[in-house]
Amino acid sequence: MTASNYTALPRETLARLLPELLLTGHLIDRSGMAHCLAAFGRDGMTAVAIEEWQLASPVYTRRMRRALGIGGDGVETIFKGLQLDIGAPPQFMDFRFRVDDHDHGEFWLDHCGALLDVEPMGPEFVVAMCHDMEDPTFDATALATNPHARVRPIHRPPRTPADRHPMCAWTVTIDSAHTPPPIPANAELVANSAAAQLELPAIDHANDGRADYAGPLLSDLRFPDFSKSALVRMADEVCLQHHLLTLGFLVAVRARTDAAVAIGRKQFTGIAGIAAERLRAALGLGDDAQAVATVLRLHPAWNPLPYTGIEITVTDDVVRVWFPRHSDAIADGAWPALLEAGQLGPLEAMVRGVNARGYVRAVEAERLGWTAEIAFAATPFQEATEVAITRFSRGAAFTFADRGIPLPLTVV
């Protein structure tokens, strides 16, 4: 089996990278929804957001549970899943939890970066996100653990007063009398994708640190507490979450327009640049060719390696990215499938997230794949409009804090 790109990183670097990958997954919507708003209006944008999360989150929630040995079917298990979900990146979406018993609990958000992004747009957009989107998508995530789970608001925005904290609060109830909602019409398109079925190496329990998330629910996950093997698997799984969400996005957009590839490419360009920028900062890298190659190798768009098969090499000041013609990602129509000669905006945005002077100098094609050669101009290029749109989110510049030792959340 092809090795992970993340195995080359030391454990402490992987632990620093995990929150970044979760956050960039969340910011995919800050990129994609702006273009859906332009194409379909607010109602159409909302419908796309609902469908993409409904299709993707049950799939990747089950994958992460299996990977980390998260057993059970109760409220505590649902909350563990949220802590490893790109829909709830730590601190930026600051979920707090209370477990009453197997069937009852509450969560609330002490900080909601998504709300702070949307509130300046007006109450209609807040209602679209916090009511229209959250009702079906929270349920879809919970249903991945228990089909009889329901998530219902205690209070939620628009906030009254305007600085109300916590920003929202929700109950989670499991009741066998609850009838599960119908399966979304296009669920099988994501559930049967190569990304959903991809097999990755099991976590090695002989390593130092936690190899699973069995035991009590913790108030926060401290990634440095996990073993290197567990962190590598989590990183690859979170990258798959990026791809699965994008597959759901493309399914929803294709149902509404023939311009789905163009919209998908804009979404890809916006998040490609911001993710590269954040990875470079998190890793403390410079802007030379080696730094560009390192960021590309670790970028969620090109991982997990067994899914994409994309190879990055560097010689002197030239970076080469080799794209196979056949891979699981190509078969799914995921991000790598959106690139072709003459349509390399996402790759250039990614490179310029590390060095604003980067550009694709040449493309060489052969039977098994094609290579993009990256070089550097004398002066910087202007930031892509798609990246500037994504930068609107406070998440683009968000800083994580060390919260110390987490507390176990036990039933009171």
Ordered DSSP codes for 251-309: HHHHTT-TTHHHHHHHHHHHHHHHHHHHHHHHHT--SSHHHHHHHHHH-GGG-SHHHH-
Tell me if 86 sits within 8 A of 114, measured CB to CB.
no
Q: How far apart are CA 311 and CA 302, in angstroms?
A: 9
Instruction: Please report which confidence band the pLDDT of residue 405 belongs to, taking 50, 70 and 90 as the band edges.
Output: confident
Instruction: Please report which confidence band the pLDDT of residue 206 belongs to, taking 50, 70 and 90 as the band edges.
Output: confident
Residue whose C-alpha is closest to residue 266's, from 183, 374, 349: 349
Tell me if 6 sits within 8 A of 305, measured CB to CB.
no
pLDDT at 81 over 70: yes
Q: Which residues of 145-161 are buried (b: 16+ CB within 10 A; e: fewer)?
A: bbebbbbeeeebbbbee
Q: How far apart are CA 295 and CA 282, in angstroms?
A: 10
Average of per-residue pLDDT across 3-13: 96
End-to-end C-alpha distance for the chain, whole angstroms: 45
pLDDT at 410 over 90: no
Which pTM value belongs to this model? Answer: 0.96
Comparing 207-211, 217-221, 338-342, 404-408, the range with the smallest average pLDDT is: 404-408
Q: What's the token pair of residue 171? A: 């109950």
Q: What is the pLDDT of residue 207?
A: 74
Rg (CA), the chain: 21
Instruction: Please report which confidence band the pLDDT of residue 258 belongs to, taking 50, 70 and 90 as the band edges.
Output: very high
Q: What angle do CA 114, 119, 125 make, to 5 degrees?
A: 90
Tell me if 350 sits within 8 A of 292, measured CB to CB.
no
Q: How far apart are CA 399 and CA 407, in angstroms?
A: 22
Tell me if 139 sits within 8 A of 150, measured CB to CB.
yes
- DSSP letter at 131 equals I
Q: What is the pLDDT of residue 2?
A: 65
Q: Which residues pair with 343 in a beta bridge?
A: 340
Tell me if 244 sits within 8 A of 307, measured CB to CB.
no
Q: What's the token pair of residue 400? A: 């994580």
Amino acid at 299: H
Q: What is the pLDDT of residue 308?
A: 98
Token pair 């300046």 in the structure block, residue: 120
Q: Which residues pair with 385 in a beta bridge?
A: none
Q: Is the four-CA dihedral 216, 221, 226, 231 of positive or negative sign? A: positive
Q: What is the pLDDT of residue 235?
A: 98
- DSSP letter at 147 equals T
pLDDT at 180 over 60: yes
Contacts 24+ apart (CB under 8 A), 359-365: 361/318, 365/341
Q: How far apart are CA 45 and CA 253, in angstroms?
A: 9
Q: How confident is the prediction for the chain on average, in pLDDT?
A: 95
| Residues contacting residue 286 through CB under 8 Å, at least 6 positions apart | none
